[in-house]
Chain A
Amino acid sequence: MTNGMKLVLFGAEVLTVLCALIATFHPNVLYGAIALLITFLGVAVMYVFAGADFLAGAQVIVYVGGVTILILFAIMLTQWLYQMKLRDVGTKLLAPILIGAGLFYVLAKALLDINPKFLSDNAEPAQKFLMTPKTALLGEALLGSYLLPFEAITILLLGALVGAVWIARPR
């Protein structure tokens, strides 16, 4: 990685964390949603740097194009949320921090278990891994060792669809 690329990655990281903080603490929930949108984009940039280009595209399609729209619709449907100032800081800070730290530990542990050299910069195999296209590999994995989870996800999504429209249907 060149210095310029490192700079871009660093910028994206700072932006992501900053927008995540805005999304958490901004009193206007609509602005929080916009900050969340930029956080999603920042995560997509990080996927690109991790060599997961397909995942980056999927992140933008599903989260920016789908989830953000859903959140915006939800906020706009309950329009009093826009005028309201929400403050929820202080009292409920401990639990999120604990959950966040726990999640960070699990992810970091998993990452280092897979590749202990992850933290060493410019390791040769890592560089090679980053340059290979992974969409076909992903497809292979989904049809090979992860066939059952893949099918389970499809059925889960079907269940989610039925449940979601059932809840949204007024009775």
Chain B
Amino acid sequence: METGFITVFWYFVIAAMVVPLMLGVGWLLRPKAKYVGKEGLAYECGEDPVGSPWIKFNIRFYVIAIVFIIFDVELVAIYPVATMFKSAVLAGNGGLIFAEIFLFVGLLVAGLMYCWVRGDLEWVKGISGPKRKEKVNA
């Protein structure tokens, strides 16, 4: 392991201490009041909240997260290859790595094009894909 990670360790420790420190100082200073009346209710611009606060939401969020993970893994795989590129170019055999990067980008584009054409990247068109042609109310 590198010595630099000792510094990283201290950064993590001190950054994690900032939160309890600030909340702790506040705890010493502020009044210790109990919540009065409807103070404990969720803030909804003065109305009493109706129904569960944990609402149903769009499945799009999940699809975006899946697409993200796939791209993320490919990116992580290409970073070490990218660090090799300069020395390979200077040594005169940049062709292999260039082909490699080109292939990588090509496959990413293929995946992206598939999602694009099939309408998986659309946010508001409804979840059944590009065939539906309703008016969008954004």
Contact = CB atoms under 8 A, between A and B. Distances in A.
| A and B, direct touch (CB closer than 8 Å) | yes
A86 interface: no
A79 B56 contact: yes
A164 B70 contact: yes
Given A65-B72, A143-B81, A168-B59, 5 more contacts: A77-B59, A140-B84, A143-B96, A162-B114, A165-B63
A5 to B, nearest CB: 8
A100 interface: no
Interface of A: 5, 8, 48-51, 53-54, 58, 61-62, 65-67, 69-70, 73-74, 76-77, 79, 82, 130-131, 133, 135-136, 138-140, 142-143, 150-151, 153-155, 157-158, 160-162, 164-165, 168-170
A142 B62 contact: no
A51 B69 CA distance: 25
Contact of B1 (A53, A61, A73, A77): A53
Contacts of A153: 77
B89 to A, nearest CB: 13
Contacts of A138: 80
Interface of B: 1-2, 5-6, 9, 52, 54-57, 59, 61-63, 65-70, 72-74, 76-77, 79-84, 87, 96-97, 100, 103-104, 107, 110-111, 114-115, 118, 120, 127-129
The 7 closest A-B pairs by CB, nearest first: A139-B80, A139-B84, A138-B80, A161-B70, A66-B69, A79-B54, A164-B66
B5 A66 contact: no
B6 to A, nearest CB: 8
Interface centre among B67, B69, B110, B111 (most CB of A within 10 A): B69
A169 B132 CA distance: 14
Nearest to B70: A161
Contacts of A8: 9
A158 B84 contact: no
Contacts of B104: 154
A136 B84 contact: yes
Contacts of B107: 154-155, 157-158
Contacts of A65: 72
